């Protein structure tokens, strides 16, 4: 079993290379490879495929098979059965919108890192007790955004976050400037309408713009 401290290091390494995590909702399987290629051309090589659509698991398996150089994670994982399914598909990390005892236990047992979602200090502390030190803050902007993250920095000095929910190109730099933010996630890098219209060049441009902020 991989220890949680090792998985924390895995997440830190992962996001040090790619601090902008696009959240991708796949409606057509034929979009997966050109979408990933468009993002990679713009400098984003770590992707979160959500399970908000029925094609999420198939998309993960396709990417792991056809684009092995990319880092592919699974998002919107809500239960242990989904956790097991995304691991079988080859997901290299798992992200949840919230944390339950069941999912936290899955994260302890899995070989790949879990980034559990939290919205409160109490939720954070429940996972912290088990050894988790890296979290998704969701929905970040509604909860207080940058202000909440600054407040969390006081009592939780060894914790870092990936805020999602309301993060955009407009506030990206403000989030990434915080010492306790390791990455940000959002769908603005690959909007649904651009994917539906297969406007890959525009997605590449959005990825490049986000990456320039992330590396500043």
Question: Is 136 one of the catalytic residues?
Answer: yes
What is the sign, positive or negative, of the torsion defined by CA atoms of 208, 138, 141, 133? negative
Which residues fall within 8 angstroms of residue 54, CB to CB, at 6 or more apart? none
Catalytic residue among 6, 48, 109, 202: 48
Tell me which of 6, 84, 102, 136 is the catalytic residue. Answer: 136
Chain centre to alpha carbon of residue 26: 15
Backbone torsion region of residue 63, taken as left when φ is above 0, otherwise alpha when ψ lies between -120 and 50, otherwise beta: alpha
| 109 in catalytic set | no
CA triplet 162, 163, 165: central angle to 5 degrees?
Answer: 140
Contact of 97 with 116, CB cutoff 8 Å: no
Cβ 73 vs Cβ 94: under 8 Å: yes
Residues whose CB falls within 8 Å of the CB of residue 150, separated by 6 or more in sequence, listed in order: 178
Annotated active-site positions, please? 48, 136
């Amino acid at each position: 079993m991989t220890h949680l401290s090792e998985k924390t290091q895995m997440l830190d390494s992962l996001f040090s290379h790619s601090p902008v995590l696009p959240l991708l909702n796949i409606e057509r399987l034929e979009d997966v490879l050109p979408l990933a290629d468009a993002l990679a051309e713009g400098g984003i090589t770590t992707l979160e495929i959500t399970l908000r659509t029925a094609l999420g698991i198939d998309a993960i398996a396709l990417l792991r098979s056809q684009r092995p150089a990319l880092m592919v994670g699974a998002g919107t994982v809500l239960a242990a059965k989904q956790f097991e399914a995304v691991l079988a598909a080859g997901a290299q990390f798992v992200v949840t919108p919230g944390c339950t005892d069941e999912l936290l236990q899955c994260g302890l047992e899995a070989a790949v890192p879990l980034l559990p979602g939290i919205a409160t200090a109490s939720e954070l502390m429940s996972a912290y007790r088990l050894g988790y030190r890296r979290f998704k803050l969701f929905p970040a902007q509604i909860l207080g955004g940058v202000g909440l993250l600054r407040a969390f920095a006081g009592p939780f000095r060894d914790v870092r976050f990936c805020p999602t929910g309301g993060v955009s190109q407009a506030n990206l730099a403000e989030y990434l400037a915080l010492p306790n933010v390791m990455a940000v996630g959002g769908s603005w890098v690959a909007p649904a309408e651009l994917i539906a219209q297969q406007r890959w060049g525009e997605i590449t441009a959005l990825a490049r713009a986000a990456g320039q902020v992330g590396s500043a």
